[in-house]
Amino acid sequence: MDIHQEKIVVLDFGSQTTQLIARRIREQKVYSEIHPFSIAIDQLRALRPSGIILSGGPCSVYDPDAPFCDPAIFTLGVPVLGICYGAQLMLQQFGGRVEKAAKREFGKAALRLVEGGGLFAGLAADPAGHQVWMSHGDRVELVPEEFLVTAESDNSPHAALRHSRLPLVAVQFHPEVAHTLIGTEVLSNFIFAICGCRAEWTMHSFIEHNVAEIRARVGSDRVICALSGGVDSSVVAAIIHRAIGRQLTCIHVDNGLMRSGESQSILRFFKEQATLQVVDVDAGDFFLGELAGVLDPEVKRKRIGLGFIKIFEEEAKKIGGVKYLAQGTLYPDVIESVSFRGEAPIKSHHNVGGLPEVMQLQLIEPLRELFKDEVRQLGLELGLPEEAIHRQPFPGPGLGIRILGEVTAERLRILRQADVIVLEEMRRSGWYRRVWQSFAVLLPIQTVGVMGDGRTYEHVIAIRSVDSRDAMTADWSRLPGDLLATISSRIINEVRGVNRVVYDISSKPPATIEWE
């Protein structure tokens, strides 16, 4: 059953803002999903999209190895919007010519409308132009037949175009970014006026569709859910419990890699108020054994993922009649774990790339289509307590990927104590809810220090705090100097074995949020 009768499909050509396009569409209550540019035409047709968007990308359309979609996309009768590279690709495939521009456009530009209507319906023709965001070194030099120019800028005389007969539109600028002040209107005109979509994709409708889908799929079988106490697994447990009630058993695995007190409050809520069946498994020693001597972060993630599956399957046998495993895979997990051009993925996620092919349980992943902030909205709609929903994200592999190098009991002690201090001070200062994520990382080095007039040679803790909306992109948080000083002083004074604290000022991209 296709629960998304109306959807906008975004084809990814490698742009850093592809995920932002999908998010901007969802913000207008229309479902969207991302697929690789190389998707087969039959597969794309089977998705029954209401519209297709071709993203930007780092290549030039005249490069020998430039990514190309199937030209049959333009004959499906479905509206297509090309953005930046996607626009140039569309126009080239219709006989236009794209060349390196004499003057590149990066940053803000003034877009002057040549004609109204279409993508620019409802926008005034301001002689000074509308602010848009450009990011390109090529431009369209020859407009193909039957395409009409609808907007221009100083360095892009063909900044927006439309086909005279077919529902094809192209823009050189990026409507998905906040710096394009008319971006919401442009995307809205494409989604509603050109594609004919309706604003019906809400968390309420998502719950209705998914509850029905879970009931139909599970039938009378039993489901186990990996319940860590974090936001994602808590929301998964809540929606599946609403669908099948006592056919669900939640399994909380203490893998020894959790933060201090990480899951007690939410587990108490589920046991006492939601009346879920929860099985607690103490597996700290098992996971330490699996990680002994492991330095490679990919190996860590996969060993942790395989360890979870092993335990879940053992517990499923004890319960009996279990056919499904539910887990909190999110859309960013899927995107980062998939290679679109045959290159290495950014990182494998323990719940995506770490699952064995021989796993006996079938997966149920009700959040697989959602970004993090959508999961929070879903949790509130399901009645979960605010304290559970607004907790900062915590990775499935836990502290195991915040310890660079080997994971040992002693190194876990150091990091866990430092992490407690970071979170205490973030909450005390009021910054906890102002940032996306804040945490400590234990580095695989030691440095010289002086304590009590004596030389020390001890560990280094890095503090990481980022601002984000969906974890696909992030900027480092500009925390007050006094707050950082307090955190540093407390860690060095209270955590035995640490004599230096540093602050990570890297954004994503190029860095990832987690260090491993």
Kindly list the catalytic residues. 84, 174, 176
SS3 314: helix
Residue 389: left (phi > 0), alpha (psi -120 to 50), or beta?
A: alpha
Rounded Cα gap, residues 358 and 17, in angstroms: 36
Residue from 95, 96, 85 nearest 37 by CA: 85
Strand pairing of 222-226 and 322-326?
parallel
Q: How far apart are CA 284 and CA 169, in angstroms?
A: 56
Say how far apart CA 241 and CA 234 lie, in whole Å. Answer: 10
Task: Characterise 186 by phi-psi region: left (phi > 0), alpha (psi -120 to 50), beta (else).
Answer: alpha
Q: Tokens at residue 90, please?
A: 């569309």
C-alpha separations of 58 from 71, 163, 304 in Å: 20, 25, 35
Q: Are 399 and 412 in contact (CB under 8 A)?
A: yes
- Two tokens, residue 401: 């990927």
- Angstrom distance (rounded) from CA 516 to CA 441: 10
Q: What is the distance between the alpha carbons of residues 258 and 412, in angstroms, rounded to a whole number?
A: 9
Q: How far apart are CA 245 and CA 509, in angstroms?
A: 42
Q: What is the CA radius of gyration of the chain?
A: 25
Contact between residue 356 and residue 303 where contact means Cβ atoms under 8 Å apart: no
Query: Omega into 67 within 30° of 0, i.e. cis?
Result: no
Is-cis flag, bond preceding 157, omega within 30?
A: no
- Strands (E) in 399-436, as ranges, are none
Neighbours of 43 (CB within 10 A): 9
Tokens 């333009």 correspond to 74
The Cα 237–Cα 229 span in angstroms is 10
| CA proximity to 150, closest of 121, 182, 187, 179 | 121
386: its two tokens: 């605010």
How close are the terminal C-alpha atoms of the chain, in Å?
Answer: 37
- 3-class SS of residue 474: strand
User: Residue 492 CB: number of other CB atoms within 10 A?
Assistant: 19
Helix (H) or strand (E) holding 455: strand 454-467
